[in-house]
Amino acid sequence: MDFGLQGKTALVLGASRGLGAACAQELAREGVRVFAAARDLEAIRAWAAEFGDLVTPVALDMTDAGSVSDLAAQMAAQGIDILVNNSGGPKPGPAMAQTPEAWEEAWAAMAGPIMKLTSALLPGMSERGFGRIITIGSSGIEAPIPNLALSNGVRGALAGWSKTLAAEVAADGITVNMILPGRIATDRVAQLDEAASKRTGKSVGDVQASSRATIPAGRYGKPEEFGAVAAFLASTRASFVTGSMIRVDGGMLRHL
């Protein structure tokens, strides 16, 4: 299937590893020119070598407002067609243990930069009559995950923002969607498994086995499987898919 992405330009946030890197790699395989943004540029260069000039590492610290503003100005001049929004997860913890400062910090790192960068790139997309906004969320949006209060709350707010924005820009040829990962084999999920191990006293292996038992597919997902969904949503083939949240979780969430 031809995704119609040759010659398009993308900005992928959090692209040094994990889901962000997987999305950037799949877009590059489709012939997209990718600006891969993160703090760790060396990590990006390590995986980007196979793609030659298609991938350009760019610096971004989402906890630094100046860094976000600089990237927004830089990318607005690049004719970005595809934006993949991705942010790191906050520390685990229950809702009752979170301070107002913790909520403010989580919002400033996970939501504010995404909204700012999206707003900076939308005018150019509207002028060209083509745009793709893809935001990586979490299964916790639809089924809040215990002990991940900050992530559940902030990503839930992003879901409302994404759905609202989708209706506002659809007539301009811009689609706005979210992808909700379940248990994908990334460093972040490994960290959460280790945290669960310490909290429950179970071994990491037992924690992982318990997690796999909740997934009908019987395993953790592969990052490239997640990246392939992002590439499809970015494609011209997905022009009528907007305002949606797509689960990539091996069937883990059972509700409709």
Residues 59-84: pLDDT tens digits?
Answer: 999 999 999 999 999 999 999 999 99
Query: What pLDDT shows up at residue 1?
Result: 81
User: For residue 182, what are its two tokens?
Assistant: 């379940």
**Taking the model in full, what pTM does it have?**
0.94
Q: Which amino acid is at 152?
A: N
| Whether pLDDT at 8 is above 90 | yes
Strand partners, 83: 11, 133
pLDDT band at 191 (very low <50, low <70, confident <90, very high): confident
Sheet with 131-136, strands from edge to edge, namely: 55-59, 33-38, 9-13, 82-85, 131-136, 174-181, 245-248
User: Residue 2 burial (CB < 10 Å; 0-12/13-18/19+)?
Assistant: exposed
